[in-house]
Structure 1
Amino acid sequence: MQYIDAFNHFFPKPLWDKIQTFEGAGKNIGKRMQNIPCIFDLEERFRVIEPFENYRQILSLGMPPIEQMGTPDKTPELARLGNEGFAELVSKHPRHFPGYLAALPMNNPDAAVVELERVFSANDGAVGVQIHTNVNGAPLDDEQFFPIFETAAKYDRPVFLHPSRGEEMPDYLTESKSRYEIWWTFGWPYETSAAMARIALSGMMDKLPGLKVLAHHLGAMVPFFEGRVGPGQDQLGKRTSTEDLSHVLKGLKKRPFDYFKDFYADTAVFGSRAATVCGLEFYGVDKVLFASDSPFDPEKGPGYIRDTIAVLKSLDLPQEDMEKICYKNAQKLFRID
């Protein structure tokens, strides 16, 4: 079996070195990621991935998002450092890295469009773009970000949604921050699901019918809450007395449920067999791509790769379906050999 890992994370050396000079959000990368050599050390990356036979990675940046690392006048340089670093890795090591997801300075939407046009027109290995589920608190369906999605659709390149939420977003109104890392455990799946809902219900997918969006972690909460995004959302507006939402469903070309089914998803669920079964049942084998979320497992690299492969093998899927999930869907979506 071949494996194309569609969602895992790495920092090219030029960007990593730049980040080390920062104060503030960029410096906060240190607490966890400085202790995961596989996310910035290329030789360690090779050591981790080479034992896996017929295995390759589509690279994307780790956290925090570029837009949290600096002001709008500074982040375009950071995005370019990341993308140029990835392009060099793809060029030098195609056997390991057949492509990368572009990073964007989302707090500078005009510059983000320019950078996306640059990497896609350059054909330098950018096979898609990674966007986080909010931009410093702003929703993705804000009109200022529409040209970014429009550019991705123009080039027929997928948008990969990565959750972004921190402890500064409390779980209760009486508190000032989230406790026990609930902001991550349950906050990230909620964050992804909310972004999916805003993209779907805002009409963006009607305006850009060719847009392809992948929601990290097997579509987050959506497969498990099929009944809520189906018959539940068919009653949109009936629970709200503070505003009239009747125009939302009337303005859409399809049921909300159908838009949620249009998303792609990946297998990065930390080795959970139950979640994998649920996600595959909802999206189907044509919309799910193999992904590990390496190197954030307790072993700092190989664990989630190994566990995800083991879960897929345990499902006893037909060979044709396994090939789609493990590499053929990625080949088609990314347009790579």
Structure 2
Amino acid sequence: MQKIKIKKIIAVLGAGNMGTVIAQVLAENGHKVNLWNWEGDIDPLKQIEKFQENKKYLPGIKLSSNIKACFKITEALNNADMIFFAVPSNVMKNIVSFVAKNIKDKAILVDVSKGLDPKTLSFVTSLIAKHVRPSLKGNVATISGPAVAKQIALHQYTVMNVASKKHSVVNKVMEVMNNNYLKLIPCNDIIGVEVGGSFKNVYTIAIGMCDGLGYGLNTKAALLTLAIKEMADLIQAMGGKRKTAYGLAGIGDLIGTSLCDDSRNRTFGEYLGKNIPKEQAIKKVKQVVEGIEATKCLIKLSKKYNIQTPFAKMIYQCLESKKNPSKIFKDFLQNL
């Protein structure tokens, strides 16, 4: 006899492009989804309520009627069996601390934001676990892999990793997410998945600089190889599994992001390569460029764990030095 799947109430915190598409996947799978965005940016929620479309971050996609726009975070969390966190990593600590008391017993907590807290250098899964009550600490999972939001929304086949300390948590996340166009593959290396998801944006900036400077796939392929080695070294140094860098959450996510025309980090890098000043380039992108803060975190971690990351260091210099980024980039290539 076939097991009947019980539909769940799921909260998605963050109505950017990825948060919205996660909500859409869950809703299309038949679940009731409460979608919230921070009070300083309620346009997406108003648009979803009025047009059934997030015109700001996921234009052209008709959203499921199973998605409810929630203007209060407590409303979104009400009786939620599962919570997906899709807010920027630099505000994650405040969000989790604020909502912790409103989280339902036995709820599953899923990180899709891919990043670190810049002050503590803690990965998002650790931040979540630290600020929830003891009974929920083991219920944290993370999803990462090559996933361009618009492509998922258009049902283009997508495969990502899901990791947690508990197999039962991984299975529950797979149960609500998997369908005929999206598949989650279990991974038992949370550190590796978090490193890959956090730092692919750093190296994506450099691949974007290649576009700005007119370099082609020969150059990009060489640089991607360097990037994967540095990510693998860091994963290993932090206690993760080196092989994770060569899987979906590592090289898969890096390729998918760095070679995607729509990637905000790639676009930012392209502007930088065209000698557009950093602050002006950020404004032109019009969204958060996660790779900028992630670069600072990567440099700090490489020092902490005493590993050599010359490629990441060069990207950091392009972002923070007063020297011309194009010259820094070209000099790096000449000295490989």
TM above 0.5:
no
TM-score (norm 1): 0.30
TM-score (norm 2): 0.30
Q: More helix per residue: 1 or 2? A: 2
